[in-house]
Structure 1
Amino acid sequence: MPVLVMKFGGTSVATPDRIKRAAKRVGVEVSKGYDVIVIVSAMSGETNKLVGYVNETAPLFDAREYDAVVSSGENVTAGLMALTLQNMDVPARSWQGWQVPVKTTSAHSAARIEDIPPDNIRKKFEEGMKVAIVAGFQGISAEGRITTLGRGGSDTTAVAFAAAFGAERCDIYTDVDGVYTTDPRICDKARKLDKIAFEEMLELASLGAKVLQTRSVELAMRYKVKLRVVSSFEEQSDDAGTLVCDEEDIMESNVVAGVAYSRDETKMTLMSVADRPGIAAAIFMPLSEAGVNVDMIVQNISEDGRTDMTFSCPVDQVKRAEKAMADAKARGDVNFHDLVADTGVAKVSVVGIGMRSHTGVAAKMFQVLSNEGINIKVITTSEIKISVLIDRKYMELAVQALHDAFELEKAA
């Protein structure tokens, strides 16, 4: 039988009634002749509640026990989904990560999947089981401890299963009906995309779009897994949602596919740093070791052997970055006059594979922002992306203006 992977996020399984609704969708696919692997998240809000319990009990917690606690939410959902399907006379059973087994690295709360042997589940399919409900977000390390994949990890679990079983498709059921050209809550002209290339989705996910976890898109691109993002709350059809696929599968697309934003950004500047070989390594190695996720980097023109180094990072990592730089200065690894943090910034980006073959996108973007009186603080580019840091108060205006300028409400 062909295999289909269906993943249901927290809002899609938030209550027993919603689990029943999801189970009916699974039943429809079983009736079409599929063997179905269902990946479930914890019920909406459950993981946050469990994390709160851990922090209340032991603020300096053992990461192994943290994983044991926070992974339990998915186990509950998997069991309830199996019971619901059994009541519908659909042969189903639940699987925890260690029972499959989902083999991962030992990096607790940020583990990576290394292997998913399909034998155990395939054997049950051969014996007549039609649906395997797998607890997402979790696995087992070589040491035999439960691990978790980081927030949003159920998306990654689903794509990894689709790759391991050669699934026909991986459907991600969520509370939105697809991938939009930008956030519809900010821009009422936002348009749902029928298809989007892996590269575009990867950029949008990494730049702030919350529809899919970045690692899940990386996996899908690597293993050529067709991803479909669909709503749990709307009527289902064969062309519903957004298909994330190879660039070759898209006949024609706009130069810019979407506008992404991230409001929780900080611009940090090291003032008067020695301009010498190795200074960048002396700055960014301690930041990396401290777990600071550095994004944009700009080095100013040197004057009298000194320069300024600017970088961006998430707001919640500012204290960590400040400590890492203070410690590096105390060790004598790097000397700077001051570290200035601007927490009132946002990142706005335009993304599109069409930018590879079209000129003038950057010029148009900068002109649009200029026309709106928005000052650009930092710019970074890649082959299919242009990102700018601007004052956060102008973020929504910038998103709307760029969406209008590139006419994203119109299909290609």
Structure 2
Amino acid sequence: MPLLVMKFGGTSVADLARIKNAAQKVKKEVERGYDVIVIVSAMSGKTNELVGWVEQTSPMFDAREYDAVVASGENITAGLMALTLQEMDIPARSWQGWQVPINTTSAHSAARFVDIPRGNLDAKFAEGFRVAVVAGFQGVSPEGRITTLGRGGSDTTAVAFAAAFDAERCDIYTDVDGIYTTDPRITSRAKKLDRIAFEEMLELASLGAKVLQTRSVELAMRYNVRLRVLSSFEDTDENSGTLVCAEDEIMESKVVSGVAHSREEAKITLFTIEDRPGVASAIFGPLADAGINVDMIVQNISEKDYDEAHPGAVTDMTFSCPINQVARAKKALEDAKAADLIRYDELIIDEDVAKVSVVGIGMRSHAGVAAKMFRALSAEGVNIKVIGTSEIKISVLIDRKYTELAVQALHDAFELDKA
């Protein structure tokens, strides 16, 4: 039979009534002739509770025991979902990560998939079971220990199963009814997209859109897994939600498909560094070693005058990074200076910034997107601090207080309400 993967997030399985509602959606797909692999998250709030218990018990916890505790949330949901389906006369069985097995690396709380053998689940489907309910977010290490994949890992689990089992589609059920041109909480004119390309969704996810986890989109793009995002709380059909798919499945893309924003950004500037070959490596090497995710980078002529302390050419270097990595970035740079790897006069950190981005595969074949973006921001009096670009996105750092204004202005400028 054709196979479908259906993933239900924490809000979709928050209590027994919602688990029953999700099970009804699974039953409907079974009645349409599908075998189904259901991936479930922990019930809403349960993972945070489990993490809290671990931290209270052992502030310097053993990561292996952390995973053993935190993974239990998904195990509970999987069992309850299987029982609910059985009560509906749907042959179903729950599976924990080690039972499948979902083979991962040994990086506890941040494991990566190695492979998902099909044999055990295929054997159950051959016996007449129609639904396999799999605990998301977890796997098993080569040492036989439970591992977890990091926050949002259930989305990635769902895509991995869709790829491993050649599923017709992977449906991600959540508390929104699709992907919007921007955050509907910021502008009521945001429109739901019927389709969006993998590349666009990956950029939007990495730039602050929180509907899909970035790793899940990367995996879907690599294995060409068609994703559909839709609501758990509405009646749905084959045309519901937003389909995330290959670019060639979209008839003609708009120049800009969406506007994303992130308030969790910081800007770091090193003033008066030597302008010489290798200085960028000396700065960003230690940052990489410290696990800092550097995004936008600007190098410019220093505002300081040359003097005897700086006999050669000097420059300034500015970059952005997630705000929760600022302390580590500061320490890495200070340690590099102390070790005489780099020299700078001053390190300035600005945590009162936000990143606003426009994304669209149509940018590849249309000129003037940057000019229109900058003109729209200028008309609203929004000053740009840093600019970063790729083939299908333009991002700017601005003062955080202007985030909503900038998003609304760009949404209007590119007429995304007509999407």
Hey, what does 2:43 align to over in structure 1?
43
**Rounded Cα–Cα distance in structure 2 between residues aligned with 1:241 and 1:31:** 20
Hey, what does 1:241 align to over in structure 2?
241
Which of 321, 327, 334 is 2:335 aligned to?
327
* Pair 1:134-2:130 in alignment: no
* Pair 1:208-2:222 in alignment: no
SS of equivalent residue, structure 2 residue 416: coil
SS of equivalent residue, structure 2 residue 418: coil
Hey, what does 2:289 align to over in structure 1?
289
- Partner deviation per Cα, 1:181-207 (whole Å, 9 max, x = no partner): 000000110000000000100000000
Q: Which moved more, 1:364-373 or 1:61-70?
A: 61-70
**Rounded Cα–Cα distance in structure 1 between residues aligned with 2:233 and 2:371:** 41
SS of equivalent residue, structure 1 residue 409: helix
**Rounded Cα–Cα distance in structure 2 between residues aligned with 1:272 and 1:253:** 44
Hey, what does 1:405 align to over in structure 2?
413
Hey, what does 1:396 align to over in structure 2?
404
**Rounded Cα–Cα distance in structure 2 between residues aligned with 1:139 and 1:337:** 48
**Rounded Cα–Cα distance in structure 2 between residues aligned with 1:271 and 1:219:** 39
Q: CA deviation at 1:255?
A: 0.7
Task: Detail structure 1 runs of 4+ shifted over 4 Å in the superposition.
Answer: none
1:267-282 correspondence to structure 2 within 5 Å: 267-282=267-282
1:95-244 correspondence to structure 2 within 5 Å: 95-244=95-244
Hey, what does 1:368 align to over in structure 2?
376
**Rounded Cα–Cα distance in structure 2 between residues aligned with 1:245 and 1:232:** 21
SS of equivalent residue, structure 2 residue 84: helix
Hey, what does 2:19 align to over in structure 1?
19
Q: CA deviation at 1:281?
A: 1.5
**Rounded Cα–Cα distance in structure 1 between residues aligned with 2:55 and 2:259:** 36
Hey, what does 1:305 align to over in structure 2?
313
**Rounded Cα–Cα distance in structure 1 between residues aligned with 2:145 and 2:273:** 45
Q: CA deviation at 1:314?
A: 1.1
- Partner deviation per Cα, 1:151-210 (whole Å, 9 max, x = no partner): 001000000000000000000000000000000000110000000000100000000000
* TM-score (normalizing by structure 2): 0.97
* Pair 1:381-2:384 in alignment: no
Q: CA deviation at 1:233?
A: 0.3
Query: In the alignment, residue 43 of structure 1 is paired with which amino acid?
Result: M
1:354-365 correspondence to structure 2 within 5 Å: 354-365=362-373
**Rounded Cα–Cα distance in structure 1 between residues aligned with 2:352 and 2:233:** 36
Query: In the alignment, residue 385 of structure 1 is paired with which amino acid?
Result: K
**Rounded Cα–Cα distance in structure 1 between residues aligned with 2:371 and 2:393:** 13
Hey, what does 2:52 align to over in structure 1?
52
Which of 328, 336, 346 is 1:338 aligned to?
346
**Rounded Cα–Cα distance in structure 2 between residues aligned with 1:24 and 1:318:** 46
**Rounded Cα–Cα distance in structure 2 between residues aligned with 1:276 and 1:285:** 16
Hey, what does 1:2 align to over in structure 2?
2
Query: In the alignment, residue 347 of structure 1 is paired with which amino acid?
Result: K
* TM-score (normalizing by structure 1): 0.98
Q: CA deviation at 1:53?
A: 1.4
* Pair 1:315-2:323 in alignment: yes
Query: In the alignment, residue 12 of structure 1 is paired with which amino acid?
Result: S
- Partner deviation per Cα, 1:287-335 (whole Å, 9 max, x = no partner): 1222221111111136642211111111111111111111111111111
SS of equivalent residue, structure 1 residue 404: helix
Q: CA deviation at 1:70?
A: 1.1
Percent of aligned positions that are identical: 75
Q: Which moved more, 1:142-151 or 1:14-23?
A: 142-151
Q: Which moved more, 1:173-182 or 1:274-283?
A: 274-283
Q: Which moved more, 1:285-294 or 1:78-87?
A: 285-294
**Rounded Cα–Cα distance in structure 2 between residues aligned with 1:103 and 1:309:** 42
- Partner deviation per Cα, 1:195-237 (whole Å, 9 max, x = no partner): 0000100000000000000111111111111100000001111
**Rounded Cα–Cα distance in structure 2 between residues aligned with 1:145 and 1:334:** 42
SS of equivalent residue, structure 1 residue 29: helix
- Partner deviation per Cα, 1:64-115 (whole Å, 9 max, x = no partner): 2211111111011001101111111111111011111111111111111110
| Structure 2 unmatched runs, 5+ | 307-311
Q: Which moved more, 1:290-299 or 1:379-388?
A: 290-299
Q: CA deviation at 1:253?
A: 2.2
Q: CA deviation at 1:63?
A: 1.6
**Rounded Cα–Cα distance in structure 2 between residues aligned with 1:105 and 1:321:** 27
Query: In the alignment, residue 112 of structure 1 is paired with which amino acid?
Result: R
